[in-house]
Chain A
């Protein structure tokens, strides 16, 4: 049976030689990473180890999954071909779809996690990012994409309901919504921490709103459809806004743009509300163009920077915090917390929502799930590796001065230098002030959240190639800007998606709500969503214990629990379709992630250490409060109350997430048990079979056989876009 469209070719000597070389080079790079202790090594080794591993995994493991496990069938028409309406379903060129899918999955996540995880050294993060993506993250994306494609692009929640059961389905729906709220809050918190008390950054980010509005009007009225032209103008204005921020900082306007975290939260919530209720052409779409351009441009710039500058890693391979779990950035030991801190780039459950969203409705050929699902995730992983490089080329003293909570560091360079020395690293107060001055920030002490640290790392790397020290401040604010831009795009789009989910759910009970354009419903649900994430965001900035320290683990746990839901679904589907012998492909990453998230949830709730366990923390502060005492870093009784409330909320959320996932897994286990006991495979909710007539290559480049086939038939699958819809009277 020919399973893949292209014909089998015999293994050529050339191919053996190439892949042997790739394997040897990759292995040497891993060897250098593993064996060097105590001496500085070049970041190039990290990049080579990653690229070599990705190449081998893509060539062999993803092919094995496509052929043996999923049995992709290019003779079977995809929903894009079968249901082609030129609008939602539309066969799309694989390279174009790859671009769309990558732009949808990659954002600020892979840039933040590796920075925070650097407190444990560069090695744990590197291993998890590379091994995790190969065996878990990319696998999840690819199989979810495949299963959704076989079901006409159904969403993760719908698939869980239809293939596992109504209980699991309801749990999945609640989990997805709750997880999204936490995710938006934490991402917004990263932006707030990057912009607080930074007039330069706040000015440039504020400017993106008028720029986006201008682009929206330009595209709508002046030059309809000229997206490239509009984006180029937008980028030029954006660069101008970054440069202008430098002037604003030195001028009388600086005060206007020096905002407290609390004010920034209110601004973000108001902004998020308007982004959700305004038509997309005004704000959302132009922002998305800007953010996508900046995303691709900056990633390429950073890749070139890392390769050309070839910086040395200053951080230790494994710091003592990996073992004793007393790190200031986030508490807890290597297992499970490195794997919770780095989600995007290794394994990100949120991707399963995108892999079961628009992408499956646009695929031309089944075999392309390998390029689009597995390939795009490998690329995101590479972005994470570059962020890891940027964080680890920094001096560890500087790193800890930027990433430890304010309560630990105090506010002056002297107190921060002392605190860093207590952690076992060294940086002088003068060096701290010099580092802040180099990027023209008032202070870089306790700038938690990852974004400022990454920006300093990027500015070191890029200033080494373009412009030297003089442009360091520009590159720093450029990096802050593009991270904030990504995150705000995610917040805009996420608020809108959350609003639709809420409208849909309430619409089941109360009809008017289901009409998405009904104004009161639109405003009410938008407000509910922004207030939900706004609450956690506000909690994050006002918590004396430090928002990132408290909330980031919750974000990591929830994202990984979403991955557990997706992998549970995939494993159930493999077993239901009679592929028990291959169930380990998703079953092993599932087992790993369940062990991980359950350990982490357990520790976050029940650990005796108040730095880790939410309940222990609650008890400690509640007891002190009962005696009328104030515990540092809280400064007064009000702040004591805040800590007690927050730790209670965090503990409740944490347990709720874990329970929802346990419900889904239990429901799935019942289904799997029945499937294994049944004489023949249980029925699946797949779409009908139809014969495909589209001819299209399955990989990035067409093979010689595919080229011959294409030459015979001509390219197919071209569609008029909105043509038919527009043509309808």
Chain B
């Protein structure tokens, strides 16, 4: 494993963990469904965040 591939693995992991990559995934999906409205990043992220209002994740001790 090179340093470069390790770094890209770390970057991938971080983005997956905090959900930063989700908008890109959505955009890719939206392009295959052009008849549906395309949400801006802000609209999409708000939708994603506001979902958590009704689904609280417990945190343990």
Contacts and interface: CB of A to CB of B under 8 A. Distances in A.
Contacts of A571: none
A517 B51 CA distance: 12
Contact of A225 (B23, B37, B54): B23
Nearest to B19: A227
B50 A279 contact: yes
B26 A722 contact: yes
Given A88-B55, A96-B13, A726-B44, A281 B49 contact: yes
Given A354-B60, A490-B60, A727-B36, A281 B20 contact: no
Interface in A671-729: 718-727, 729
A493 interface: yes
Interface residues of A, number: 63
Contacts of A343: 61
A723 B27 CA distance: 8
B26 A726 contact: yes
Contacts of A500: 56
Interface in B4-61: 13-20, 22-23, 25-26, 28-30, 33, 36-37, 39, 41-42, 44-61
B57 to A, nearest CB: 6
A496 B54 CA distance: 9
Say which size band chain B's interface belongs to. Answer: 35 or more
B16 A183 contact: no
Contact of A104 (B19, B30, B57): B57
Contacts of A344: 60-61
A93 B53 CA distance: 24
Nearest to A728: B36
Contact of A357 (B26, B37, B57): B57
Contacts of B28: 720
B61 A183 contact: yes
B22 to A, nearest CB: 4
B20 A720 contact: no
Nearest to B16: A96
Contacts of B19: 225, 227, 721
Contact of A722 (B36, B44, B53): B44
Residue among A99, A109, A559 facing the most chain B CB atoms (10 A cut-off)? A99
A722 B61 contact: no
B60 A106 contact: yes
A490 B56 CA distance: 11
B36 A99 contact: no
Contacts of B22: 225, 721-722
Given A225-B41, A225-B45, A281 B50 contact: yes
B47 A228 contact: no
Interface stretch (A62-70, A300-308, A345-353, A461-469): A345-353
Contacts, number: 140
B16 to A, nearest CB: 4
Contacts of A358: 55, 57
A315 interface: no
Contact of A351 (B13, B15, B57, B60): B60
Interface in A463-496: 489-490, 492-494, 496
A87 B23 contact: no
A348 B17 contact: no
A348 B59 CA distance: 13
Contacts of B52: 280-281, 284-285
Nearest to A491: B59
Interface string A179-190: 000010001000
Given A279-B50, A285-B52, A228 B60 contact: no
A109 B59 CA distance: 11
A633 B11 CA distance: 56
A701 to B, nearest CB: 11
Nearest to A183: B61
B16 A723 contact: no
B58 A357 contact: yes
A109 B58 CA distance: 14
A543 to B, nearest CB: 21
B61 A108 contact: yes
A723 B17 contact: no
A182 to B, nearest CB: 11
Interface of B: 13-20, 22-23, 25-26, 28-30, 33, 36-37, 39, 41-42, 44-61
Q: Which 3 A-B pairs have the closest CB atoms?
A: A109-B61, A720-B29, A227-B18
19 contacts: A106-B60, A110-B61, A220-B46, A225-B44, A225-B48, A227-B19, A228-B14, A279-B50, A280-B53, A280-B56, A281-B52, A350-B60, A350-B61, A351-B60, A357-B58, A496-B56, A723-B29, A726-B39, A727-B30
Given A280-B53, A354-B58, A722-B51, 17 more contacts: A96-B17, A99-B13, A104-B59, A106-B60, A187-B61, A219-B45, A224-B41, A224-B42, A224-B45, A225-B41, A225-B48, A348-B60, A493-B56, A493-B57, A516-B54, A720-B29, A727-B36
Interface of A: 87-88, 93, 95-96, 99-100, 104-110, 183, 187, 219-221, 224-228, 231, 279-281, 284-285, 288-289, 343-344, 348, 350-351, 353-354, 357-358, 489-490, 492-494, 496-497, 500, 516-517, 559, 718-727, 729
